[in-house]
Amino acid sequence: MHDDRSLVEARLKRVLDERIRPAVYPESVPLDVAVWHAPGEPVPVAEGLAAEPEPIAVGARWGAPWGTSWFRVTGTVPQAWAGRSVEALLDLGFDENMPGFQCEGLVYRPDGTPVKGLNPRNQWVRIGAPVEGGEEVRLHIEAASNPVILDYHPFLPTQLGDKETAGSDPQYTLTRMDLAVFDETVWQLVIDLEVLGELMAELPEDSQRRYEILRAVDRALDLVDLQDVNGTAERARAQLTGVLSAPAVPSAHRISAVGHAHIDSAWLWPLRETVRKVARTTSNMTALLEDEPDFVFAMSQAQQWAWIKEHRPEVWARVKKAVADGRFVPAGGMWVESDTNMPGSEAMARQFVHGKRFFLDEFGVENDEAWLPDTFGFAAGLPQIIKAAGSKRLLTQKISWSQTNKFPHHTFQWEGIDGTRIFTHFPPVDTYNCSMKGSEIAHAARNFKDKGVARHSLAPTGWGDGGGGTTREMVAKAARLRDLEGSAQVVWETPEAFFDKAEAEYPEPPVWVGELYLELHRATLTSQAKTKQGNRRSEHLLREAELWAATAAVRAGFPYPYEDLDRIWKTVLLHQFHDILPGSSIAWVHREARATYERVAAELDAIIDGAQRALAGEGATPLVFNAAPHGRCGVPAGGAAAPAVEGGTRLTPRRGGGHVLDNGVLRVEIDERGLVVSAYDIEAERETVAPGRAANLLQLHPDFPNMWDAWDVDEFYRNTVTDLTDADEVTAGEDGASVRVVRSFGDSRVTQVLSLAAGERRLLLDTEVDWHETEKFLKLAFPLDVHAERYASETQFGHFHRPTHTNTSWEAAKFEACNHRFVHVAEPGWGVALVNDSTYGHDVTRAVRTDGDLGTTTTVRVSLLRAPRFPDPETDQGVHRFRHALVPGADIGGAVREGWRINVPERRLTGAGAVAPLVAVDDDAVVVTALKLADDGSGDVVVRFHEAHGGRARATLSAGFEVADAVATDLLERPLADAPAVERDGERIAVRLRPFELVTLRLRRA
């Protein structure tokens, strides 16, 4: 037989595009349209419905950037259409390739009842199936003219990302507003042909099945009268029955399709628009659930559920009913799909506390899985947190985006720093926006790395990022793929059902130890510095507020601010969403985030001040309040006392220019360039700075990645560097313990103060940058005279080690990585810590000594600032302040201690006398990360702590109040069924911890 495959395939494409798809709506009549443009921000639904619109014609331009327009469409169903299905086709000016990224709408009935959302892949509203004829149609559309930020030429700088700079030019052209007859038979034929055509394209060219489909399609097209598609569609469908009913082979891959709409809580749109995106999507999904009995939809991010409840009660009622029916599934158990690299220990824990508690309170549902399809890599401390929250599984997709190394598993056990293992799945479909295309289904089956030992994978199915969700077309395709020869088998299932099957068939999957590093989007550790600083500051202020409020509540009857703390925590957690904290959202989002963090800080400072004054009482005794988990200057952790006074610091001229700071512990030489050329540990007789090198060296790189400007830094940025060694001034500080350095470069200016306090083993560096560069990367370098094959980097509830070498492509790919409060490098017996108050990105490299001696040195560089132009063209322009400290001679415990100290500064008051800690621990390796009252209002004291040095710990926890009972709990403060009894002797509790073990204790007050 002659090979006419390409001929038939080309025929299928043209007939589908030009004849069959247009015949889905064979008859239509125009609707009358009027519009009212809301001034300013969106208005309540009642106001939009009551507004008096003015006529507008199809073809007219509408919609200023970020505006809201209320369209009213009216018409009458023709009598001639009686007995037929009729839909309204409402095209606001959609580009079908941009679902979620442009204009959208939510359709209401005149009484304010939501009908469904409109987006580029979902433009229809059912009027009747069938109609009687003569029905009056009146619908209202709340249309959002969100501008296109990520266009066909992506990553171009645009002022559209903030309503303050976006202008007022209309963004869209009203394209179609019609009533139309819907021919379901033709629509079903379209789905038949799409499924078969897409499957055929994925089968081997020489396969029997491919040619069976080809011949059946060819015969079906012969039966379509191109001048009467509607009259001949049924017989064409009949011709395809045989190939569509052939069952899949017994070994076919099995895909659990989960209805899904990954809605970014903010990204190329502001938070307020996400509230509406969620309402549109959930309206669509509840409607689809009513139409499709097999369909299951899952939605994560408790914050988005809370938005519906607060802002769209009419949608919320439909959602609650669908949840009760078991088909609209709360997923993930987190407040938002957060970044997991940068949130601190407690914040990461609270993501699960607030997320799981919301679903429990509202629906009685508890999630076993963390659901993070789009997060930019996963910190090594996360498995223990997931387990401590009562969950045991993780789903993500993003690791498939890694540029260099292909992850070796799709289903595996992920082991964290403490040894906790979490059953983890990466869907091999390699998208969290699966649309049931044949290419996607075939890719999932081919790509699955666990063939032979497992056969199940998951496919999150529906338009996401900007929302939209699953469409009726996707559901129809999945129905045909349920059991179809040549394809993987597809069935709608909940995440829980998938994980149950996956675990049952693969009881001993491989183990991956340590972080799940995404070899992409590394610059998200640095972009939008003020957002990151706001997050770090808020985390520590929340810790302080809980600590002092709980202490004052127990000691002085201070009213514990339960509701305020709950609300503020949720605000901070929301801003840890994986496009806010990483700095990859539009200017509007970060402008609002900066303002929000300022409000949060003011509120928390007020709580802290009130609690501390209640504790201090009346008096003139100087007191220092120490909220850090370690004592300092004679002040105990979690207590207040008069500070101890230690020695002094000498500031003397340096031979050859510059200055010397000496406090008897460290001797630091700062040369005439303002660079640290020596940091000598007097007791250890060790030099910190690598020979021939200088620390406190600012370095400037060009920074123009190949794509994803705010997200990415590509390795070639290192090829070009400018050392900023010229100083405008290097002067002695008036306090006699500091040196001030000023530098200018480009259009920017840096002012640094290097200080050495009495008796302290740390050189403090306060850096102010007035930053006005574009597409540049600013680093702060510390070449250290330490030979180290690995370094320690703090993460949640501990730290883990990364190599300093690049032996393999896996190590080489980690050229930019995340740390929390410290990086530590060491040789046996001596090490150096670099601690920070607000930065995350860094790199660590090795170099050969330059003094003729053998061996290597280690350079730690902190990432300070970037200047990408997309999606925010003014990223980070302006004044920034950073604080770092170089700590020579620090062991890992010193790194932990100094990291806390720089982030939780002391507070000074006068009062009646010292304040004893509410809870004390007698071992610095056991770090208390939270001390608070129980969330249930019982008055119980909750203390959370972990082993922080990476070894075994035995300690005593002492309560400063009478304890009636002590129990170990999960993060939600519920007793652990399998935990051993707490060893307690009155108010003293014995603590035994394995490396990095996390424990939460609930202490009932007598």
Strands (E), 49-135: 54-55, 61-62, 67-76, 86-91, 104-108, 114-118, 124-128
Q: What is the dihedral of CA 590, 596, 598, 600, to 10 degrees?
A: -140
Pairing of strands 511-513, 411-415: parallel
Length of the chain: 1006
Q: CB of 417 within 8 A of CB of 378? A: no
Residue with tokens 């394809």: 487
Sheet architecture: strand order including 926-933: 926-933, 941-947, 998-1005, 963-969
Distance in angstroms (rounded) separating the CA atoms of residues 958 and 987: 6
Per-position DSSP letters for 490-524, written without gaps between them: EEE--HHHHHHHHHHH-SS--EEES-B--SS-GGG
Residue with tokens 């509406």: 276
Per-position DSSP letters for 757-768, written without gaps between them: -TT-S-EEEEEE
Residue 374 appears among annotated catalytic residues? yes
β partners of residue 118: 105
Q: CB of 518 within 8 A of CB of 372? A: no
Q: How many other C-beta atoms can be found within 10 angstroms of the C-beta atom of residue 446?
A: 12
One-letter amino acid identity for 498? F
Distance in angstroms (rounded) separating the CA atoms of residues 996 and 817: 21
**The tokens of 637 are what?**
């952790």
Exposure letters 176-209 (e unless 16+ CB within 10 A, then b):
bbbbbbbbebbbbbbbbbbbbbbbbebbeeeeeb
Q: Of 49, 54, 52, which Cα lies nearest the Cα of 110? A: 49
What's phi and psi for 484, nearest 5 deg?
-130, 125
| C-beta pairs of 552-560 under 8 Å, 24+ apart in sequence | 552/610, 552/611, 552/612, 552/614, 552/615, 553/933, 553/939, 554/918, 554/941, 554/960, 554/961, 554/1005, 555/615, 555/915, 555/918, 555/961, 556/614, 556/615, 557/614, 558/610, 558/611, 558/614, 558/615, 560/933
Q: CB of 438 within 8 A of CB of 478? A: no
Classified as helix, coil or strand, 977 is coil
CB half-sphere exposure, 903, CA atoms < 13 A: 32
Strands (E), 493-613: 511-513
**The tokens of 102 are what?**
């442009």
What's phi and psi for 718, nearest 5 deg?
-70, -15
Distance in angstroms (rounded) separating the CA atoms of residues 449 and 411: 8
> Which of 192, 264, 374, 872 is labelled catalytic?
374
Q: What is the DSSP letter of 466?
A: B
Q: What is the dihedral of CA 349, 350, 356, 357, to 10 degrees?
A: 140
Distance in angstroms (rounded) separating the CA atoms of residues 386 and 765: 36
Q: Of 498, 486, 503, which Cα lies nearest the Cα of 461? A: 498
Helices (H) and strands (E) in the chain, counts: 18, 53
What's phi and psi for 898, nearest 5 deg?
-70, -30
Q: What is the DSSP letter of 644?
A: P
Distance in angstroms (rounded) separating the CA atoms of residues 544 and 608: 7
Active-site annotation, residues: 374
